[in-house]
Structure 1
Amino acid sequence: MAIDITPAVIPHLCVDDAAAAIDFYVKAFGATELGRVPQADGRLIHAAVQINGSTVMLNDDFPEFDNGKSQTPKAFGGTPVTIHLTVTDVDAKFAQAVAAGAEVVMPLDDQFWGDRYGMVRDPFGHQWSLGQPVREVSMEEIATAMQNQG
């Protein structure tokens, strides 16, 4: 029997409390839980949610599998990665994330590249951007706008 495989890129997040993260992602981003695999001590070794039509995998932190080092954004003092959501009602979705406990990193505003866009940090240290295209902008317009920045 052949297994059907669809190529994909799927973020896999390490968090301090995966069960709480699932609850947060449901409230903040309307996620649907796809499943979870707990270890005997209750920590989740694997879980998955669907956000905005895409799968996001997550697990609890297991420092014992990495020479005692935590792999969460909080342990690293932040994250260089931003997970982007393109949505159809960015004002409502941004407000929903903030109401659920996300911290505003970049306020929602109309941007020169044509999106209404903002960024938040979830309670687990992961950074998310939310955007909605509001106007068509050519690469030339974007280049000119970049030259005129700061």
Structure 2
Amino acid sequence: MTTDNTTHFAPELHIPNGTFNVDFYIKFGATEHFRFLNDDGSIHVVELEINGAIFHLHETMRDALEPISAKGVTAVIGLFVPNLDEVMQKAVQAGAIEISPAQDYDYGYRQGMFKDPFGHHWQIQKKI
């Protein structure tokens, strides 16, 4: 887990109000730190971590958009990992849709992209 004395990003991915299940992320390999629920049992916020990279799933509020209602990508989550092909495979097995397969690029990166069940695009990458 990232310590408080380091600078790091912690993206907040918005999910539709009334969401009860975010099991995709656990199947993908995330560890859940905490979860706050609304009175109806739906998710208000969940903190997750993938090998030290913390992110949050949060119900849509204020002027925030989530990809399904926005009918498009609201951000691309870039995740650097040492085992890119394994991570891509695990994501697809957990229910993601592959957008572009992992491949090497002339600019020195190996990258692949998938869309998670809530419409968020993840670019999995590694410097080569």
TM range (shorter): 0.7 to 0.9
Task: Work out whether residues 10 and 56 of structure 1, in 8 Å CA contact, stay in contact via their aligned partners in 2.
Answer: yes
CA drift at 1:19 = 4.5
Match of 2:45 in 1: 46
Q: Which has more helix, going by share of residues?
A: 1
Task: Work out whether residues 37 and 46 of structure 1, in 8 Å CA contact, stay in contact via their aligned partners in 2.
Answer: yes
1:1-150 correspondence runs (5 A): 6=5, 7-16=7-16, 18-21=19-22, 23-28=23-28, 30-61=29-60, 71-134=65-128
Distance change in 2, residues 1:50/1:73 (3 Å): same
Equivalent residues, number: 124
Task: Work out whether residues 74 and 120 of structure 2, in 8 Å CA contact, stay in contact via their aligned partners in 1.
Answer: no
Distance 2:71 2:51 in 1: 27
CA drift at 1:45 = 1.6
Task: Work out whether residues 103 and 121 of structure 1, in 8 Å CA contact, stay in contact via their aligned partners in 2.
Answer: yes
Percent sequence identity over aligned pairs: 33
Distance change in 2, residues 1:48/1:18 (3 Å): farther
Unaligned runs of 5+ in 1: 135-150
Q: Note the aligned Cα RMSD (angstroms).
A: 2.1
TM-score by length of 1: 0.73
Match of 1:141 in 2: none
Unaligned runs of 5+ in 2: none
Q: Which has more strand, going by share of residues?
A: 2
CA drift at 1:71 = 2.7
CA drift at 1:9 = 2.7
TM-score by length of 2: 0.84
Distance change in 2, residues 1:116/1:85 (3 Å): same
Highest Rg: 1 or 2? 1
Amino acid at match of 1:20: N
